[in-house]
Structure 1
Amino acid sequence: MPECSNKLTALRIISEIGVDMNKFPSAGNLCSWAGLVPRNDESAGKKHSTKITKAGRYLKPLLVQIANAVVTSKKHPEHRNKYLQLKRRRGHKKAIIAIARRLLVATYHILRDSICYNVDLYNIPELKQFKKTMSVKGAIRFAQSQGFTVNI
């Protein structure tokens, strides 16, 4: 019976986000779309509440339910250990949201790269390629500001 439940859960996630991850430039964009990131309520240097966004009406509760099941299971100790570490500092609710986000990031990489689940999937950094140019004089000034001696 659990195998059938796993297939239905996967079907629900895929029906929400689809299989084409090209519409999300990064895992952070998918998490934002799913409502698993904190709002940014800052004005005049004052930070207000850090509640999560209201997006992801159907996906977010499903991911929270999955996260609750994963942290109680002994099958994936990496998620349980991270949950216990976060729960001590931030509380149950924020720790569960963090685990749900980690699971969604792993799902993003599985679907984008067509690979099997790996423990390290949620730790993959999103490296953005920037096209930066610098003049020779600017490069020399930068190197000198970092403490290098430049010999021309």
Structure 2
Amino acid sequence: AGMDMGRFRTAGHLASWAGICPGNHSSAGTSKTGRSRQGSTWLRTALTEAAHAAAMTRETYLAAHYAQVRGRRGVQKAVGAIRHDILIAYWHIVHDGTAYRELGPDWAQRRRGTEAQQKRLVAQLEKLGLTVTVEPEKPAA
């Protein structure tokens, strides 16, 4: 028995309802992270347990993301990030009727790599109706 995904138009809407994403707090042009709302206690508890378990796995996206956030922001923020990742994945699995797809521990590197960036930029230009030809840079003589 899962949740009725029809209630939630987007994955972000579900995360907000569940109290899993941080609020926004800005003043005088300065943006600060806010506290998450209370949300569903049982869901937060289940997601926290799942996040701790996911952090202990080997060679997975969730474990790599946990380690990355923990190094920068600490354990609690890392657990919060993984809870959010799990809930977003759940929404897509149920809403879109897709299977879970493991992204791999190097997903962030692949996503931010120059090849991926080039692909994204070419796609954006083509979406604007331009024909794009990409050539490698010629070395200076």
TM superposition score normalised by structure 1: 0.61
User: Where does residue 99 of structure 1 map in the other structure?
Assistant: 82
* 2:98 alignment counterpart: 115
Query: Which one of the candidate residues 52, 56, 73 is aligned to 1:90?
Result: 73
2:24 corresponds to 1:22: no
- Residue 42 of structure 1 and its aligned partner are, at CA, apart by 3.3
Question: What is aligned with 2:34?
Answer: 50
2:40 aligned partner, one-letter code: G
Q: Which amino acid aligns with 1:119?
A: E
SS at match of 1:51: coil
Corresponding position: 1:73 with 2:57: yes
Shift of 1:57: 1.8
Look up the equivalent residue of 2:71 and give its one-letter code. R
Percent identical among aligned pairs is 33
CA root-mean-square deviation: 2.1
Inter-partner Cα distance in structure 1 for 2:24 and 2:64: 28
Highest Rg: 1 or 2? 1
Structure 1 residues not aligned, in runs of 5+: 1-10, 124-152
Say if 1:114 and 1:90 are closer, same or farther in 2 by CA, change over 3 A.
same
**Structure 2 CA distance for aligned equivalents of residues 54 and 29 of structure 1:** 15
Q: How many residues align?
A: 104
Structure 2 unpaired stretches of 5+:
109-141
8 Å contact from structure 2 (residues 60, 102) kept in 1: no
Aligned-partner Cα distance in 2 for 1:41–1:64: 24
- Cα distance, 1:65 vs. partner? 0.9
Which letter maps to 2:75? H
Mean Cα displacement is larger for which, 39-48 or 91-100?
39-48
- State the distance in 2 between where 1:63 and 1:37 align: 12
